[in-house]
């Protein structure tokens, strides 16, 4: 389902103005093993439900921000800047 | 004579038993094919579970295109074997799957796309797959309705012509495998949702469903777009993101197109079914989702790009639009085989936009792995461990993806 996303700078816009950046993950520390880095690169929770994810306003202010979205319904619960 | 009028069940309902040797989660073409080939090997204490009806996932939502003209030395022999199995499937199952090997054309509109097709043609020739590069004149001869004019927005430069490619009746494949598996004594349980998987000391022991618990030592996860949710029941995060893929079908027209037309530059693929409807497919939606609702922007994109190829279709109306949830891997190759952390848990997932055409060969190779414990050479490159050993299989000839 197509939906609207509320950019923290530009307000509500069509999702087609944005680039999807994937689910938010914890970056490993410098001491992490190769296995942990491979998991960070490839493995995903791929949540069927509410997940926190990265978005980029490609055809707007060109900034990255977070959205909390239910992936089963595409309901966007909230969006907020990456500095929040 | 009376036999003609006797009602024959395609597959029978069963009570859920307390124990099975193998539990297959997902009754689509991959799950049912695996069950069928397991049965052929004499492994018949098998249950195939599905949370919906048979073929209710991507087996009933794909555009039914079969081809083997891939690009990687791992992918080509694998899909080639699948085409061979599809060629003999109606006879093998005793059930007509209406496989029409009408030929398949992959169009190129840019120099780099032509180069890509040339690489594929060479790799195909080397591995025994019938495909070759053809120019606009031959394209026009094969597909008179296509616009090859140089004034087009993106003129057609060349095509990869793959004569054995074609389309099939996808529901018939699902039903045929289900019927075949049922006759071999395998139980098919629709509307049986898996809610949890129990393990003991890293070994699968039981599956919890909405109809009760089943004890088993072997579970095969073949749930396409939902495979991450099943894998997380045993604590495994797969390298998969689920994206919807949309398609639509037009009102029936007189037969005018007897080739499958694919354009990766325009992100669209077109074929005409035996009923005269045009089946049109798009690229995957640009964001992850488990929603199979369709969208207007995608419909507009499909329509616009189809009209670039076939301007005469401008008045044709769309009857239906739908979406399937695709399990996309980072390298556009599937993930097949054992999961090292959990004994008895196998996957046949990551089928993204190319799962239906691989149904028979996946079923056959996964059945061999389950029955013998040995991974067939054909699927060794697709092991989950490739992501941890830097051995990705970049299949750039996969459908419906932007490169």
Cβ contact, residue pair A42, B239, below 8 Å: yes
Minimal Cα–Cα distance from A22 to chain B, Å?
8
Mean of pLDDT values over A71-79: 97
Could you tell me the fold of the domain covering A4-81? Folate-binding fold (3.30.2270)
CA–CA dist A29, B139 (Å, integer) = 55
> Closest partner residue to A48 among B287, B290, B297, by Cβ?
B290
Could you tell me the pLDDT band of residue A78, with boundaries at 50, 70 and 90?
very high
Q: What is the pLDDT of residue A83?
A: 81
Residues of B in contact with A33 (CB under 8 A): none
Domain spans in chain A, listed from the N-terminal domain onward: 4-81
Pairs of CB atoms within 8 A across A/B = 68
Minimal Cα–Cα distance from A36 to chain B, Å?
9
The residue in chain A having the minimum alpha-carbon distance to the alpha carbon of residue B294 is: A1
This complex has an ipTM of 0.96
Q: Could you report the per-residue pLDDT of B117-172, keeping only the tens digit for each?
A: 999 999 999 999 999 999 999 999 999 999 999 998 899 999 999 999 999 999 99
CA–CA dist B127, B177 (Å, integer) = 29
DSSP string across B58-79: GGGTS--EE----SSTTHHHHH
CA–CA dist B40, B181 (Å, integer) = 9
Q: Could you report the per-residue pLDDT of B298-323, keeping only the tens digit for each?
A: 999 999 999 999 999 999 999 999 99
DSSP string across B146-184: S---TTSSS---EEEEETT-EE--HHHHHHHHHHHHHHT
The residue in chain B having the minimum alpha-carbon distance to the alpha carbon of residue A37 is: B388
- Residue B91 touches partner A, C-beta closer than 8 Å: no
Phi then psi for B84, rounded to 5 degrees? -60, -40
Cβ contact, residue pair A2, B290, below 8 Å: no
SS3 B52: coil
Q: Could you report the per-residue pLDDT of B64-78, keeping only the tens digit for each?
A: 999 999 999 999 999
CA–CA dist B117, B104 (Å, integer) = 13
Could you tell me the fold of the domain covering B22-63+170-238+331-398? FAD/NAD(P)-binding domain (3.50.50)
Count CB neighbours of B366 within 10 A.
Answer: 28
> Closest partner residue to A38 among B287, B296, B388, by Cβ?
B388
Mean of pLDDT values over B350-367: 97
CA–CA dist A9, A79 (Å, integer) = 11
Minimal Cα–Cα distance from B338 to chain A, Å?
16
Residues of A in contact with B289 (CB under 8 A): 1, 71-72, 74
Cβ contact, residue pair B297, A16, below 8 Å: yes
């Amino acid at each position: 389902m197509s939906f609207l996303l509320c950019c923290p700078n530009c307000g509500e816009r069509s999702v087609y103005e944005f680039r999807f950046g994937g689910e938010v993950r914890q970056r490993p520390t410098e001491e992490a093993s190769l296995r942990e880095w491979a998991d960070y690169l490839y493995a995903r929770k791929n949540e069927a439900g509410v997940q926190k994810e990265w978005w980029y306003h490609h055809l707007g202010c060109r900034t990255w921000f977070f959205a909390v979205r239910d992936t089963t319904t595409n309901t966007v619960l909230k969006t907020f800047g990456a500095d929040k | 004579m009376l036999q003609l009028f006797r009602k024959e069940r395609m597959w029978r309902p069963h009570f859920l038993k307390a124990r099975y040797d193998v539990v297959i989660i997902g009754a689509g073409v991959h799950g049912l094919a695996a069950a069928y080939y397991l049965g052929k090997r004499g492994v018949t204490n098998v249950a195939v579970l599905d949370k919906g009806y048979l073929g209710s996932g991507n087996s009933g939502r794909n555009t039914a295109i079969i081809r083997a003209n891939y690009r990687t030395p791992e992918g080509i022999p694998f899909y080639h074997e699948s085409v061979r199995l599809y060629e003999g499937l109606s006879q093998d199952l005793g059930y007509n799957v209406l496989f029409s090997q009408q030929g398949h054309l992959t169009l190129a509109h840019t120099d780099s796309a032509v180069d890509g097709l040339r690489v594929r043609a060479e790799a195909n020739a080397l591995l025994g797959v019938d495909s070759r590069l053809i120019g606009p004149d031959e394209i026009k001869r094969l597909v008179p309705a296509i616009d090859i004019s140089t004034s087009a927005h993106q003129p057609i430069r060349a095509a990869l012509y793959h004569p054995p490619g074609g389309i099939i009746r996808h529901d018939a494949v699902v039903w045929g495998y289900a019927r075949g598996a049922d006759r071999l004594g395998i139980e098919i349980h629709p509307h049986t949702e898996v809610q949890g998987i129990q393990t003991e000391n890293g070994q699968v022991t039981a599956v919890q469903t909405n109809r009760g618990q089943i004890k088993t030592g072997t579970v095969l996860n073949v749930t396409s777009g939902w495979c991450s949710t099943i894998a997380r029941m045993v604590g495994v995060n797969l390298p998969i993101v689920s994206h919807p893929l949309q398609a639509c079908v037009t009102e029936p027209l007189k037969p005018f197109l007897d080739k499958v037309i694919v354009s990766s530059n325009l992100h669209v693929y077109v074929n005409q079914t035996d009923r005269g409807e045009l089946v049109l497919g798009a690229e995957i939606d640009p964001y992850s989702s488990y929603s199979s609702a369709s969208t207007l922007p995608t419909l507009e994109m499909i329509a616009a790009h189809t009209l670039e190829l076939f301007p005469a279709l401008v008045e044709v109306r769309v009857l239906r639009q739908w979406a399937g949830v695709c399990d996309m891997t980072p390298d556009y190759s599937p993930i097949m085989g054992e999961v090292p952390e959990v004994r008895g848990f196998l996957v046949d997932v990551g089928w993204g936009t190319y799962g239906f055409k691989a149904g028979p060969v996946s079923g056959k190779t996964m059945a061999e792995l389950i029955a013998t414990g040995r991974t067939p050479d054909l699927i060794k490159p697709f092991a989950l461990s490739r992501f941890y050993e830097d051995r990705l299989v970049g299949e750039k000839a996969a459908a419906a993806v932007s490169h």
